[in-house]
Structure 1
Amino acid sequence: MAEIKDFRFRIVGADWKKHQAEVQKPTLRKRLKGKPIPALILLLLILAGCLFAGNLANHDPAGFYLQNLNEAPNAEFYFGTDSLGRDIYSMIWYGGRVSLSIGLMSMVIICIIGIPYGCISGLANTKVDAVLMRITEMANSIPNLLIVLLLVSFIGKQNEFTLSIIIGVTGWFPLARIVRSEVRQIRSSEYVLAARCMGVGFPKMMTRHLIPNFVSSILFVVLSSISSSMSMESTLSFLGLGLPVDVISWGSMLSLANRALLLDTWWVIIIPGIFLLVTLNCITSLGNFYRKETNQKHSNL
């Protein structure tokens, strides 16, 4: 009820004033509830450390300090040294650059192959879609590590770029299947049908009408591909088929694990392994958060 300001009238009665509902603003604690803030902070700290490795490192990561072989963590070498006399603390930050770059490059390659392939299969007719999906299912039925090992042995000596290509080329199958299922759901929408009637080409159709509508659904797979690519690089390096020892990465550092177990130098394995596991868990936590958010939005529709 509007308030009467004319002095000739006077409103009487209980509770005559206009009621205004008090809207309680959510507290900061409620806003942050359920969000992976610790994982995000840890990941940002690791990324910042790798980005500013030149400022954090106190030794040459490629230097061989032969008078300090297999030293435990101390005041000079914070994380100790390996069997070659290299400073693990400095190697951690420079090696993180390589491992993260391999994960990101592999993720880009997976998206470049998987998203267009899934869009083509989703928009195609039943026969073409069946053929494309059978190819994906047959390739996905072969263990990924086996395909990677075959390609690595065929190419020979690896570097960051070739290893990223191998991991990306063999890891796009799950993304293509998810994209295909999302496109099959929205391909009958009015905006997609209108674009087809107007003769819109496939590249424009994919970038303007398809990807914006399923990008939130595939974000979990995209983030997970970074961690899986880093895990694959570490596995190959541990088997001696990844990056050479002179190329510093968390995986190549773990390739010395057998020698470290024989010499009882636990820090050579534990410290790089902790950084790798923490980074992978942080990325996975962010991916799970976005997946839950996407599922919740879909359930509310």
Structure 2
Amino acid sequence: MSEDLAISVRGLTKIFGTRRVVDDFDMDVPRGAIYGFLGPNGSGKTTTIRMMCGLLIPDGGTGQCLGFDILREAQAIKEQVGYMTQKFSLYEDLTIRENLDFIARMFQMTDRRTKVAQALRDLGLADRAGQLAGTLSGGWKQRLALAACMLHDPQLLLLDEPTAGVDPKARRDFWDEIHRLSARGVTVLVSTHYMDEAVQCDFIAYIAYGKKLISGPAQDIPAMVGLTTWRVEGPAISALEDRLRATPGVDQVARFGAMLHVSGKDKAALARVATAERARGQHQWHEQSAGLEEAFIYLMAGATDNFIGAPAAAGE
């Protein structure tokens, strides 16, 4: 494995019962990258990440993480991983400082009081060190959870739906901290189905029902999907939406507030639709670059649910 890669896996597969929750998954993750795993709930994102990092034994496949074999050296990998779960998992009847001190004891850290104090300062928790964790708001619990999983200075950070249930400012502050960690060389894997988190990532893998649909640099994903998109504004937008869904050359219509994003794979055909609709004089049509959300909706619409064996609805 190249020294530039934190993770390199091939053919990862996981089966629960008769269901392949992860099916022949390949991935390379550069060191220091923020890599987003995007997909609907139940798509296999968390299972994939756990296998890549030695936290879950795959039923098939091989790979390395941080230079260690994911099958034979899982314990060595675990010692270098910080894992922040979606559900707050620290002790609510302990203070912030007591929680961090407990984690430091678990890792048998030397000079743990100094390291706990440093973690409190780094995450802005020092003034609240004596506050019970159970009395914290969602944003402060998030900071505490991040401090706890970074306390042993891991090389790899796993974030499972990290900002669910927190306010916009807390979410922004959290991502500022993640970017600082990435700049220090920490590799970050993020499981999410939120677009505003996906745009924070350097790389993205779209996963649906156990299959990787596409992966690459975040800014390249829409072009890789190959969509052309037009933004449409004007009156009676719902009636227009219904008509466009039945119009040849239109592959996708997505509602964004009071406007539509109309997308298609055939650029010329979609341009003809836009020209014809403009001639009606009722709506404003503006061509724009397709974004991650348009790409996500398009990919999800064509994915097959591995639980019921039927095409999934867009955005499911």
TM-score range, shorter chain: under 0.3
TM-score when scaled to structure 2? 0.21
More helix by share: 1
- The structure with the largest alpha-carbon Rg is 1
Of structures 1 and 2, the one scoring higher in RCO (CA 8 A, sep 6+) is: 1
Q: Which structure carries more strand by proportion?
A: 2
